Amino acid sequence: MRILTIGDPAVAGLVDYARKIDNELRAHQVRSEVDLSTDKINGKIQRAEQMKVHTMFVIGKRDMEADAVSVRIHGQGNLGAKPRAEAIAEILASIKERRA
């Protein structure tokens, strides 16, 4: 699981929002990482795809303001924006399903 930020990481609150999501996922024992590099979003996505990261949350200023994330799945592409709580619940459900 990787959280990718869009735009300038100096945008007020964006890094905090990314870390909040990361902490929430880690609290549920989900391996996650925040990519705060200054690369453009296409580079971040490409690197995550090459690393075969299954799920990516892409967040920008608008996502932060709406308490949402844009979800990308390896090999499937962009699944669109979802409320943060709903996206996290889906991740946890899919992990539980794979373990069963």
- 3-class SS string, 75-94: CCEEEEEEEHHHHHHHHHHH
> For a pLDDT cut of 90, what percent of the chain falls above it?
80
59 near 15, Cβ under 8 Å?
A: no
Q: CA 86 to CA 95: how far, in whole Å?
A: 14
SS3 11: coil
The answer to whether residue 1 scores a pLDDT higher than 90 is yes
User: For the chain, which residues make up each domain, given as ranges?
Assistant: 2-99
The pTM of the full predicted model, rounded to 2 decimals, is: 0.90
Q: Which CATH architecture has domain 2-99?
A: 3-Layer(aba) Sandwich (3.40)
Using one digit for the tens of pLDDT, what is the confidence trace for 37-47?
889 999 999 99
Q: Which pLDDT score is estimated for 65?
A: 93
Q: What is the largest CA-CA distance in the chain?
A: 41
